[in-house]
Structures are given as C-alpha cells and as structure tokens.
C-alpha cells in the first residue's frame, strides 16, 4: 500500500492505493486455487477450511462452524449422500476430518471480525463462496482449461464467479489486517455459504453477525455490467423469489390391468406444471414461475407413485412474489386433489427485493470517481435474485445503510453456463473499491 503525504489529502480514498503488483499476483493465484475446487452450497468443506486457514494468519477473530451459525432450520440443505460424497472428496484434498465434522450438515462459511482500537461504526461486508452443479467446459478456448486451473471436482464449477468473491473478501481482510492502526470501529467480513438458490442468508441473519451493523455491503462480478473496469451500484431490480420443493405422492399399480387402483403422481405433477405456467400476471409488475426439475416414475408399465419437482417463483417485489407463491401452492393442491394424490411443499430458499441506500450511492460515486480519476459509476437494475437482499433488509430495520455493487467484466459465457469465465482484472477493481469503502467509513 502506498501512502501519500497528508498535505495532498482531499478524500481519504486519495491517500490509499491498495492494489499493487504483488496483491494482483496474489488475487489471481488465490482465485485459481479456489476455482479448482468448486463445492455446492452447504458442502463447502475445502473452501471453508482454506478460508479459515488464511484468516487465522491475520489480525482478526475468526468464527466458523457452531461458533458462527446457530443450529436450527436451514433452507435447501443437501442430501446425506451429497454430504458424504463431498466430505470424502474434501478429505482426499487434505481437509482434516475433525474440521469437516465441525462444519458439516449446515455449518459451512466463516466470519472475520476486526475490532479496532477506537470506537466507531460497525461495517459488514458479505461475500458468497458456493459453486454450482455445472460441468466446466474443457474446450481449448476456455481459459481455466488452457491455463491449467479448471475444476477438479467433476460435475461442479464456479460458474457464477464466487471464486472471485472469496478471493476479494480474503484480500480485503489482508488489507484491513495490515492497516488496522488507521481504522476505528469494527468490520465483519462474512463468507456466506449456499447463496445459490437463495438458501444461506437466513442462517447468516440468525447467527447474529449482522446485528448492530451500521453499514452492510455486497457485490457480484459481471451482472448488469459487461465491460471490465465498469462498476455499477444497484438501485433496483432485485427480484423477490421463493424456491419450492414439491413432492406429489400417489399409489403405484399395474399400468394395464389395474391402473384404476393406482394414483398417478406423475400426471398430477404434469397438470401442476401446466397450470402454474398459466397463472395470471400481477398487473404491471414482473412475475415468473418455473419448474426446472421434474423426476418421476420407476418403470414403463407402472403407474408412478411419486413425483419430485423443484419450482421457483419470482416477482418485481415481495408482494408480487408472494402472489405467485400463493397461486402456485393453490395449483399444486388442486392438481393433487384431481388425481387423488397428496402433495408436500417445502420452501427451499427465499430472497426479497432491495435497493441500495441513496447516501451510499452518493458515496460510491465519489469513491469510484476518485479511484478512476473522474470515472462515473453506473446505476443499474439487477434483474435477478440474490439472498444478500434478505441480510440487507434485515439490517435496514435496525437502521443500517446497505448497498450492493456489480463489478464489470468481460464474460466468456453467461453466468451458470459451462463456458462461464470472467476477466481477472475485475478482482483488482473490486478489491480496490471495497477497501476504499472500508477506509472512507472507518478511517481514524
């Protein structure tokens, strides 16, 4: 970090330039390290272990496992089989079994807490750490493949850029640790598990690590911003969403000689999918519904006795999403009744709508202009969902100011696709920007 003479000080952010050549090298190598070992939400064993190992070398308190999250309900936990397979893989990759036992079944993720000498505001930064069930491309043009850092975990990849988010979060912690004398108040850096499917944030809220926050910040690589170097603050367009696991239960029977004795769960589920696609839209507010997984049936000549569906609703705001959710549930119950089946509906994830605080939008504009010598931050809509919104809306209720940014990057393929990859230069911009925010708010 380069310090400029005090007389030149205009804004505090002018004094600092955090990302130098050494830090850039560390950002790239750390990002590639995490990219090779993608893990799905709630199974981030290797990821959490290595986050914790990195943080333990810094001047902060580190919380993970049962010291971070409280026991209780979890949205969208993995199956026991997935937990076992992921644990076995992580063990083979060098994670001690004792560590896996501390974080398995809903206790992944970690928090770094920096308490500085002088009192001051509490600032929370949240970074998500999970990957997706997407097989990574081994096309020769795919950079992770041709530069030797593609996923080593078959069937999984960091196809949403959360490997970049982890890295920026860790390097932000490193910067805070090196410069702790210059800061006041408290900073909590949350490494959140299971963002995909909007599952992990509610457990973070229950952990208590958001309580008492004066400021909360989050961000994402590449959404709404397509050019490397661009930066946007999200002023609206976070879609509220509800993820539903739906199970239709019927009765099996011979398909030819006794179909009348069966209850066809597949037909009930199919009826539901069609009926839910025909829900009237909510006035002029955006709404959507999608069933993305439909598993049913055990044999050609058997009346299917069960059907497993993964369905989601979205809405411009929580009112529109709640409307969709209510209509979907009504249709699921109706379809079940039509075929004499039972239906079980469980919420597997949730996020609400949110807009960044206007004071923080102004502050972000100043910081960005300073950082880029006159550059303009964009104001954008998010047009997708993110469970950061749950954390932000929770914190706002107790007076916190919250903001969410997107960090522009050229993308090799869309998010959640096997070709997804971002320009690593985005890591430099994001780290510099997030560090400047911390120093702007918490300078001594």
Which chain residues interact with Zn ion by CB under 5 A? 160
Residue with smaller CB distance to Zn ion, 112 or 160: 160
Q: Which two tokens stand for residue 2?
A: 């380069």
CA neighbor of 187 nearest in space, from 131, 269, 105, 126: 126
Which is closer to Zn ion, CB of 123 or CB of 159? 159
> Which residue number is nearest to Zn ion in terms of Cβ?
160
Minimum distance, C-beta of residue 388 to Zn ion, in the bound complex (Å): 10
Cβ nearer to Zn ion, comparing 160 with 279: 160
Minimum CB distance to Zn ion, residue 440 (Å)? 26
Please state the closest distance from residue 220 (CB atom) to Zn ion, in A. Answer: 6
Instruction: Report the run of H or E that residue 359 belongs to, with start and end.
Output: helix 358-371
DSSP string of 6-32, one letter each residue: GGG-SSHHHHEE---HHHHHHHHHHHH
d(CA 61, CA 115): 8
State the DSSP code for 117: S
Nearest approach in angstroms of CB 99 to Zn ion is: 25
Choose between 132 and 341: whose C-beta lies nearer to Zn ion: 132
The Cα-based distances of 302 to 258, 268, 342 in angstroms read 10, 15, 18
Q: How far is the CB of 130 from Zn ion (least distance, A)?
A: 9
**With respect to Zn ion, which residue has the nearer C-beta, 160 or 175?**
160
Compute the least distance from the CB of residue 429 to Zn ion, in Å: 17
Of 252 and 429, CB closest to Zn ion:
429
- Asked if 191 contacts 204 with a C-beta cutoff of 8 angstroms, the reply is no
Instruction: Give least dist CB 419 to Zn ion, A.
Output: 16
CB of 415 to Zn ion, least distance (A): 7
Using an 8 Å Cβ cutoff, are 176 and 35 in contact? no
Burial letters 340-373, b for 16+ CB under 10 A, else e? ebebebeebbbbbbbbbbeebbebbbebbebbbe
Which lies closer to Zn ion via its Cβ, residue 125 or residue 272? 125
Contacts (Cβ under 8 Å, ≥6 apart) of 298: 252, 304, 305
Q: Which is nearer to Zn ion, 407 or 433 (CB)?
A: 407
- Kindly tell me the burial class for residue 236, based on how many C-beta atoms sit within 10 Å of its own C-beta (0-12, 13-18, 19 or more): middle
Tokens, residue 320: 């529109």
For Zn ion, the closer CB: 170 or 253: 170
CB 404 within 8 A of CB 49: no
**What is the C-alpha to C-alpha distance for residues 162 and 31, in angstroms, rounded to an integer?**
9
Is 102 in contact with 110 (CB distance < 8 Å)?
no
Q: What minimum distance in Å lies between the beta carbon of 384 and Zn ion?
A: 8
From residue 187, give the alpha-carbon distance in Å to each of 95, 263, 291, 296, 353. Answer: 28, 57, 40, 48, 25
Q: How far is the CB of 151 from Zn ion (least distance, A)?
A: 16
* Phi-psi map region of 60: left, alpha, beta (phi>0 left; psi -120 to 50 alpha): beta
CB 189 within 8 A of CB 209: no
Nearer CB in complex with Zn ion: 159/329:
159
For residue 162, the minimal CB distance to Zn ion (Å) is 6
CA dist., res. 168 & res. 368, Å (int) = 17
Q: In sequence order, what DSSP letters do the residues of 123-163 get, joined into one string?
A: EEEEEE--BBS-PPP--TT-HHHHTT---SSTT-B-TTSHH
C-beta separation of 126 from 86 below 8 A: no
**Nearer to Zn ion among residue 180 and residue 417 (C-beta):** 417
């Amino acid at each position: 970090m380069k310090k400029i003479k005090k007389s030149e000080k205009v804004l505090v952010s002018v004094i600092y330039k955090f990302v130098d050549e050494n830090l850039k090298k560390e950002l790239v190598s750390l990002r590639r390290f995490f990219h090779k070992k993608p893990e799905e939400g709630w199974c981030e064993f290797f990821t959490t272990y290595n986050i914790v190992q990195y943080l333990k070398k810094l001047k902060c308190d580190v919380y993970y496992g049962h010291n971070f999250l409280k026991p209780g309900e979890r949205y969208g936990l993995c199956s026991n089989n997935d937990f076992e397979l992921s644990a076995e893989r992580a063990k083979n990759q060098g994670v001690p079994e004792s560590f896996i036992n501390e974080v398995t079944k809903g206790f992944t993720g970690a928090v770094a807490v920096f308490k500085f000498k002088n009192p001051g505001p509490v600032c929370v930064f949240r970074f998500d750490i999970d990957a997706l069930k997407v097989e990574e491309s081994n096309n020769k043009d795919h950079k992770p493949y041709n530069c030797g850092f593609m996923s080593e975990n078959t069937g999984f990849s960091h196809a949403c850029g959360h490997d970049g988010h982890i890295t920026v979060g860790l390097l932000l912690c490193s910067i805070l640790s090196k410069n702790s004398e210059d800061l006041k108040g408290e900073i909590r850096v949350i490494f959140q598990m299971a963002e995909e499917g909007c599952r992990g944030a509610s457990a973070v809220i229950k952990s208590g690590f958001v309580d008492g926050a004066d400021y909360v910040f989050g961000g994402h690589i590449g959404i709404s911003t397509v050019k490397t170097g661009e930066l946007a603050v999200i002023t609206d367009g976070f879609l509220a969403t509800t993820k539903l696991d739906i199970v239709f239960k019927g009765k099996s029977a011979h398909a030819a000689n006794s179909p009348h004795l069966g209850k066809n769960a597949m037909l009930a589920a199919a009826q539901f999918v069609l009926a839910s696609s025909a829900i009237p839209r909510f006035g002029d507010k955006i709404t959507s519904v999608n069933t993305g997984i439909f598993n049913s049936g055990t044999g050609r000549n058997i009346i299917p006795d069960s059907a497993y569906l993964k369905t989601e609703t979205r809405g411009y705001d929580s009112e529109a999403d709640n409307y969709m959710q209510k209509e979907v549930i009504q249709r699921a119950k109706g379809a079940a009744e039509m075929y004499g089946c039972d239906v079980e509906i469980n919420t597997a994830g949730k996020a609400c709508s949110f807009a960044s605080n206007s004071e923080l939008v102004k502050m972000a504009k100043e910081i960005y202009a300073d950082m880029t010598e006159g550059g303009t931050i964009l104001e954008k809509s998010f047009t997708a969902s993110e469970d950061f919104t749950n954390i932000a809306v929770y914190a706002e209720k107790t007076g916190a100011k919250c903001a969410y940014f997107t960090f522009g990057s050229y993308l090799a393929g869309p998010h959640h696709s096997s070709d997804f990859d971002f320009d690593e230069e985005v890591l430099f911009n994001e780290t510099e920007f997030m560090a400047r925010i911390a120093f702007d708010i918490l300078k001594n």
